Structure 1
Amino acid sequence: MKLDQGHLVISLDFELFWGVFDVRTLESYKSQLEKVSEIVPRLLQLSDTYNIKLTFATVGFLLAKNKEELLQYSPKKKPNYSDANFSPYRLFDAIGNNETEDPYHYATSLVEQIKQNDNHEIGSHTFCHYYCNEVGQTAEQFEADLLATINIAKQQDINIKSIVFPRNQINEVYIKICAKHGILSYRGIENHWMYNTNDTKQLGNTKHRIYRLLDAYLNISGHNTHDLQMHHGLVNIASSRFLRPYSSKLRFLENLKINRIKKGMTYAAKQKQVYHFWWHPHNFGQNTEENFKALEELFNHYKTLNKTYNFNSKTMTNLVQYF
């Protein structure tokens, strides 16, 4: 689908501890997660200043007001992973009853702030941070998870129209299920082997990780800009770049990282394509000021491209509906 102007899409994988429970302990990650309550309002304010739209791909668990509601909306058919460590449902007994008690597993106040701001979108990151390519789970279980997300969102007047698959595990059968239930778009992966990771094991492969790290600073995989493509009933608004958080150890490379993204944005603006970058709010939980400084530099570059090439910012659903 050829575009008549370039577009910037920014998505955030909003998940709190539900996104890292299988790879980290809560104690080791608390300080970063606690900052999210400050980071989300600041992201909203900064993006509004630059007239930039954000898509918050939100884990459905975070929409629950309390544990009673979390249990009420949880599907009967849960993912039956061969590796039980992948299931977040095993944590239910240990979590608190609401956001006040447990800000690591609930986020209703933050969801409400996003919802009240008409510039941005709340999309799906599945109900339970569902891994679509792990052994044991089924299409039927995924569909139950998707319906749980749609239903818990609906009772808060949120209409789910976009999805970001956790760990970027994309399954063609599940894309068709999303289309069946009214989802319009998803975030695909970069078209390069280093990003073509089917499951958690492959995602953590040393070779893939090294190349992805290098690619954040050096142009190995290309700009990864895209035209819109229909894929099994959904529009693929593919990723161009993960915005890696600031690293004090790699601070001497920070300008390379930011310039890599700027060049990709410029290319998309000139070629009338889409540039889509993303990260997690909790990624800004460390080195918060440095991360926001980098983000504002990118937002300033967007304003220049907007004036020069009519490069436009859209949420995932805005972009699909625009065309």
Structure 2
Amino acid sequence: MDTLQNPGSFVISLDFELHWGVRDHRTVDQYRENLLGVRQAIPAMLRLFERYGIRATWATVGFLFFENRDDLKAAWPAELPQYRDTILDPYAAFSEAGRNEEEDPFHFAPSLIREIQAHKGQEIGTHTFSHYYALAPGPTLESFRADLRSAKSAAAQYGIVLKSIVFPRNQISRPHIGICAEEGLIAYRSTEAEPWIAAGNGLFNKARRLADAYLPLSGDGCATPSLDQEYPIVRVSQSRFLRPWSKSLKGFENLRLKRILASMDAAANSHQTFHLWWHPHNFGVNLEENIVILTRIAEHYANLNSETGWPSRTMSEVAENILRAEKPQCTV
């Protein structure tokens, strides 16, 4: 595929999960401020994206689509994941959820989903129905398929056809990718190209990832999305996690920003893709400081777009572009 067909893209994806994404290691009370702050963070991000013409993929946990707990329970898949570690099981913890979004803004989010829908250029993808851990011991492949079908059904009630998936905790396998393709998804977010970035969560690897956010240890993160060799689904590699602003590290903010902007320059000038990702709850506290950083990134994107034509695309738009280019052309 030549660069005229695929000039690379600026891709943003957000893992929209509220408490369903952190409940195995943080209680609502422990993370209350971040979770409540999502109610201000998402509108602020949407306004910024609209101002600078940025398209984004909001990978949303299916549980968040429902108006109340009765509707959610009625939509549970026929086959539930049977985790060996029960702390991972959101169904076992379902009693923690309140009755509806008004009573429980930590586990329901239909109003926020509709707000995302109302903004042009925003894609709502899936983060699975239940924040499904694909590589955890216990669940079967068929329970994963059932989970995806429930996610598709939940989204369809909003007129949404799911096309993109972000696997929770980046737990990805070939069989799970195949099921995604069979269920009609055309894009998935994979881990970074640099092997040690996707390494485990030991202290050494965590420290190395933290340092890489400020110093060019692992390269620029630029990538070229590619069609899977076996399935009709496109791999859209992530480039960098947008770490939230930290008071303890505020003296290094210019380094963090410089690292991101330099990678964006490299991607735009080499016709590649730079894929930035984070969670809305990362902006749930220190929203003003986080929006300042995101504004600088958005301004830089707008300049690159004006100078080089480097576009902003959702994950599904990246995939559709590649699938069109790879499709055999009929000749007369």
- The TM-score normalised by the length of structure 1 is 0.96
- In structure 1, the partner of 2:326 is none
Residue of 32, 36, 41 corresponding to 2:34: 32
- In structure 2, the partner of 1:99 is 101
Tell whether the 8 Å contact from 2:50 to 2:120 is kept in structure 1 after alignment: no
Letter in 1 for 2:100: N
Secondary structure at the residue paired with 2:248? coil
Stretch deviating more after TM superposition (185-194 or 233-242): 185-194
Q: Distance in 2 between matches of 1:152 and 1:252?
A: 44
Q: Distance in 1 between matches of 2:113 and 2:25?
A: 25
Tell whether the 8 Å contact from 1:133 to 1:171 is kept in structure 2 after alignment: yes
Residue of 208, 226, 230 corresponding to 2:227: 230
- In structure 1, the partner of 2:69 is 67
Q: Distance in 2 between matches of 1:92 and 1:314?
A: 36
Q: Distance in 2 between matches of 1:2 and 1:241?
A: 25
Q: Which runs of 5+ in 2 are unaligned?
A: 323-332
Letter in 2 for 1:284: F
Letter in 1 for 2:221: N
- In structure 1, the partner of 2:251 is 252
Q: Distance in 2 between matches of 1:283 and 1:3?
A: 34
Tell whether the 8 Å contact from 2:8 to 2:224 is kept in structure 1 after alignment: no
Tell whether the 8 Å contact from 1:64 to 1:108 is kept in structure 2 after alignment: yes
**How far 1:254 moved relative to its partner?**
0.8
Tell whether the 8 Å contact from 2:12 to 2:275 is kept in structure 1 after alignment: yes
**How far 1:76 moved relative to its partner?**
2.3
Which 4+ residue blocks in structure 1 deviate beyond 4 angstroms? none
Q: Distance in 2 between matches of 1:83 and 1:2?
A: 47
Q: Distance in 1 between matches of 2:2 and 2:22?
A: 37
Q: Which runs of 5+ in 1 are unaligned?
A: none
**How far 1:223 moved relative to its partner?**
1.1
Q: Distance in 1 between matches of 2:267 and 2:157?
A: 38
**How far 1:156 moved relative to its partner?**
1.6
Secondary structure at the residue paired with 1:57? strand
Stretch deviating more after TM superposition (148-157 or 177-186): 148-157
- In structure 1, the partner of 2:214 is 217
Tell whether the 8 Å contact from 1:132 to 1:169 is kept in structure 2 after alignment: yes
**How far 1:90 moved relative to its partner?**
1.8
1:47 aligns with 2:44: no
- In structure 1, the partner of 2:325 is none
- In structure 2, the partner of 1:302 is 301
**How far 1:194 moved relative to its partner?**
2.2
Q: Deviations over 1:243-270 (max 9, x none)?
A: 0000110111111111111011100000
Tell whether the 8 Å contact from 1:10 to 1:53 is kept in structure 2 after alignment: yes
**How far 1:2 moved relative to its partner?**
4.4
Give 1:1-323 correspondences, 5 Å limit.
Answer: 1-4=1-4, 5-197=7-199, 202=200, 204-231=201-228, 232-233=230-231, 234-323=233-322
Secondary structure at the residue paired with 1:93? helix
Letter in 1 for 2:309: N
Q: Distance in 2 between matches of 1:124 and 1:147?
A: 11
- The TM-score normalised by the length of structure 2 is 0.93
TM-aligned CA distance change 1:13 to 1:2, over 3 Å: farther
Q: Deviations over 1:213-236 (max 9, x none)?
A: 111111111112111212242101
Q: Deviations over 1:188-245 (max 9, x none)?
A: 1012232334xxxx3x222221111111111111112111212242101100000000
Q: Distance in 2 between matches of 1:96 and 1:194?
A: 40
Q: Distance in 1 between matches of 2:2 and 2:20?
A: 37
Q: Distance in 1 between matches of 2:104 and 2:138?
A: 30
Q: Distance in 1 between matches of 2:25 and 2:197?
A: 20
Q: Deviations over 1:274-319 (max 9, x none)?
A: 1000000010111111100000000010011111111110111122
Q: Distance in 2 between matches of 1:304 and 1:124?
A: 31
Report % sequence identity: 42
Tell whether the 8 Å contact from 2:163 to 2:185 is kept in structure 1 after alignment: yes
Secondary structure at the residue paired with 1:225? coil
Tell whether the 8 Å contact from 1:6 to 1:310 is kept in structure 2 after alignment: no
Tell whether the 8 Å contact from 2:9 to 2:268 is kept in structure 1 after alignment: yes
Tell whether the 8 Å contact from 1:186 to 1:235 is kept in structure 2 after alignment: yes
Secondary structure at the residue paired with 2:99? coil
Tell whether the 8 Å contact from 1:161 to 1:183 is kept in structure 2 after alignment: yes
Letter in 1 for 2:43: P
**How far 1:97 moved relative to its partner?**
1.0
